[in-house]
Structure 1
């Protein structure tokens, strides 16, 4: 809990939030649960990604501007097309966006040049600038976070339902600085095949205008349920199903690796809402505790209710993941298995920047899907910290980003993100894994007499 300077001001802000319109509706959250239910049953794939921490500061390169939102959506749409084509499965698109303003921190304070101040905990709590005034927790920032979330959601809805996500625009989603990348020609080939397929459908007399799934897409929002006062203020009773409650700050919320204790407030809050939930599972996750959490958060064992977001690290995944998968399979628990290859692979570069090597990210992804293939379970998704911007924060990738690139292109306010090109690189590499898995499931047709 932040050290709020004036409890009366905090209470007034929370009352104001409780009277604001919902950002999302319970029916949308239930639609997401149904989509994730298909993923849990092996009939879909979850693509979840976005900024480590959003910012509403005008000075920040990560602020929620129209251009940043559009560029992020373009990358997500490109990745989804690549994955859909390879896996022959619907891709559920969920953004870490329109609400990812709070961040957990390891230490409550930060020291620079002998001066010690409270740690930056996300724009919804305090400012990133290293000054006493900026680092003071300010309840009014929650109102600002709500307004920026509302504006972001409004633009996202306009993009995905207003024609921008039309599959006929598949070529227009490529960002300018990605067009000369190593994967650009692969994407162009894929776009050619999609365009040919659409042309074939039209030639067969199918009216593409009568198929809304080709003209728009479903896109959902998510963030960590960290600042519980804000989340509780945004919780509303579902008028269509009295007695049930939806947190209307996002379609999906997740519980972080630091706040997943079964008897603590974050788990208690999340078990009482109908939103689909994520649960981060780090190296400290134990089988018994995880099974207990699943029983608390999804006592009815509903497909799509709970996503396990595994963040073990490339050096630990092969040793720790199989035991978790086997135990949950043995107990008959229905969950979405998602791989977070970011958080367990953070290192400090020689120049002092936090970074994540692309080869380690890819290694954990490969291990995750190899384990599920070996255990006969469905590796159902990925959870990425990423951006549509041309940043340099994670080393490696097709352009081999190094420490030398950080000086001018390192813009994150918290943790390093994949840039647009690295995100699409990862999508194609992941597509190869999914295609191989799909082809392995294909069985030869029985011989027909006389042929």
Structure 2
């Protein structure tokens, strides 16, 4: 994570523009049962220190601008939905390690700087297709993530609880502390690429990674013999991100930067607006149009070129490089047909955006034994289609947005482990959507490195 000294931010952030969203439709928000309790919690949240700093977000914006020009590549990965119970030091370390390993493969395989970003330290809220869930004739509010309610199917657990906003803030602060320790304290040193692989079983992805690590070792030893200074290899910049879904969390954590007088959402470096909440006249687009963070917008199969242009008008009217990222999630069978019109419309407009592929959310299926899953082959095919479209149009594929974990889960079908329907029952632990496991994540990195070399 970037840790350069930043100007402090003022917590007094009451400006009329930041609250215009309150008069607009806000989808995917919980029905808080006690407005007074919510008001007390958000007031307390407003008085807490920022989780990230404005200068860090500015630095990320510059790097995303480089990705839009083909001078860098974004790797964004992490849980579908973080849970309070799983925010252990080991889990955080293993997620960071997985992203670092993928980044090493991409950097060395494609000779390109990789922007490392976690869906971490704030990814606690999830949109749902229904406000309620029914089991055995009992209907309760849907689980909307640990920041709102609990996964257990009881009336008390499913009650939206404003105190969970404070719990999410504390959990995010703890996670960010560990992320900074791991990425700035020597754990991320590129000279430790072999150590990152210890403790994992033998299989093709790990064997390929070890061979790759040996090549890197040889290159480093050669450069050391030539007198190169490798102090810069000890640390990496690692950025946090999450979907800016719960506005009652995002607004209290917005601060005014004392350097510029401009507002930043200090809950994360990068926020994105989801497919379900990108309405041009909605509260989410209005709120995020007011903050200075680099922003993403998910674009699914129903998105049109006109939608993309109007989102640019609202979120980046001046065409500032690095400000706006479009994260496409079309599905493997649709990406080659539906993505070109979007890219062509944006390219003709001329204002820069960074194009990123989310190959997860458009490829969901239900297994024969009832598990919500994805096929690894479909995930890779969507990435391949994303690259093919950009290559055909002469535009830049700028990054990858993936749901993954550092654990040995069995949630996505296929890969070199050949996970099948029956294997899903072994270790299916996600509370919402299936994630690539550590091995599948490495397999993806090798395949994407080849695509980057070919572009």
Shared fold (TM-score, shorter chain, > 0.5): yes
The equivalences for 1:264-343 within 5 A come to 264-343=282-361
In the alignment, the residues of structure 1 paired with residue 207 and residue 425 of structure 2 have an alpha-carbon distance, to the nearest angstrom, of 30
> SS where residue 159 of structure 1 aligns?
helix
Match 1:183 to one of 205, 209, 216: 205
| 1:37 matched residue in structure 2 | 65
Matched, 1:230 2:258: no
- Residue 320 of structure 1 deviates from its aligned partner by 0.5
* TM-score normalised over the length of structure 2: 0.93
Matched, 1:217 2:230: no
- Residue 184 of structure 1 deviates from its aligned partner by 1.9
In the alignment, the residues of structure 2 paired with residue 378 and residue 237 of structure 1 have an alpha-carbon distance, to the nearest angstrom, of 34
RMSD: 0.9
> SS where residue 337 of structure 1 aligns?
strand
In the alignment, the residues of structure 1 paired with residue 256 and residue 150 of structure 2 have an alpha-carbon distance, to the nearest angstrom, of 33
- 1:81-127 per-residue CA deviation (whole Å, 9 max, x = no partner) reads 00011221100011000000000000000011111111000000000
| 1:100 matched residue in structure 2 | 123
> SS where residue 80 of structure 1 aligns?
helix
> SS where residue 191 of structure 1 aligns?
helix
The equivalences for 1:48-447 within 5 A come to 48-57=76-85, 63-174=86-197, 176-177=199-200, 179-209=201-231, 212=232, 214-242=233-261, 244-437=262-455
- Residue 371 of structure 1 deviates from its aligned partner by 0.5
> Does the 8 A contact of 1:392 with 1:406 survive in 2?
yes
> Does the 8 A contact of 1:75 with 1:174 survive in 2?
no
Aligned residues: 427
* TM-score normalised over the length of structure 1: 0.94
- Residue 175 of structure 1 deviates from its aligned partner by 5.0
- Residue 333 of structure 1 deviates from its aligned partner by 2.2
Cα separation, partners in 2 of 1:322 and 1:175, compared to 1, 3 Å: farther
- Residue 183 of structure 1 deviates from its aligned partner by 1.9
List runs of 5+ in structure 1 lacking aligned partners: 58-62, 438-451
- Residue 240 of structure 1 deviates from its aligned partner by 1.0
4+ runs of 1 displaced by more than 3 Å?
none
- 1:278-318 per-residue CA deviation (whole Å, 9 max, x = no partner) reads 10000110111210001110112111111100000011111
> Does the 8 A contact of 1:33 with 1:304 survive in 2?
yes
> Does the 8 A contact of 2:206 with 2:439 survive in 1?
no
> SS where residue 344 of structure 1 aligns?
coil
| 1:447 matched residue in structure 2 | none
- Residue 186 of structure 1 deviates from its aligned partner by 1.8
> SS where residue 70 of structure 2 aligns?
coil
List runs of 5+ in structure 2 lacking aligned partners: 1-28
